[in-house]
Amino acid sequence: MPRLTVWYLRAAFVHLALGATFGALMLTAKAAPSWGWAWAWFPAHIELMAYGWLMQFALGIAFWALPRYLQPPKRGDERPAWAAWALINLGVALLAYGPALGLAWVRAAGGVAEALAVLLFAIYVWPRIKPLGV
């Protein structure tokens, strides 16, 4: 497994653990109204689970498993995929924790970071979506 996939997957695991924690707190709040404060973490739960966990896990596996080039470097210039990793995690963090900390303005910045990340990753991965041995 390439080093970048290790970073994607371990970051995805961290987001899964945190997102599941916020989810459990909110479900508890449905049973115990005194836990209503947990609802402040609703945007964080969505962000962490959908993008931090599911999307990031899929991108990490794609980097590892998609067909490689015949000539080294076998996975091409990895720098856009590394930049995408940094931007995804910056974006997820801004979108997840910004509102709860009273920093609503950072949501737009987080959205831009995530969109740029996916664009960079798509540009990086596009030529690797090809038949094997070509």
Instruction: Show the tokens assigned to 109.
Output: 């910045």
Instruction: Show the tokens assigned to 77.
Output: 């210039």
Crossing angle for the helix pair 79-97 and 56-65, to the nearest 10 degrees? 170
Nearer to another protein, 34 or 104 (CB): 34
Distance in angstroms (rounded) separating the CA atoms of residues 47 and 133: 38
Q: Exposed, middle or buried by CB within 10 Å (0-12, 13-18, 19+), for 112?
A: middle
34 binds another protein (CB under 8 A): no
The minimum distance between CB 109 and another protein, in angstroms, equals 26
CA 9 vs. chain centroid, Å, equals: 9
88 binds another protein (CB under 8 A): no
The minimum distance between CB 54 and another protein, in angstroms, equals 6
3 binds another protein (CB under 8 A): yes
129 binds another protein (CB under 8 A): no
108 binds another protein (CB under 8 A): no
The interface mask with another protein, positions 47-66, x = CB under 8 A, is: --xx--xx--x---------
Instruction: Show the tokens assigned to 86.
Output: 């940094």
21 binds another protein (CB under 8 A): yes
Distance in angstroms (rounded) separating the CA atoms of residues 121 and 91: 14
| Sites of contact with another protein (CB under 8 A) | 1-3, 5-6, 9-10, 13, 16-17, 20-21, 23-25, 27-28, 30-32, 49-50, 53-54, 57
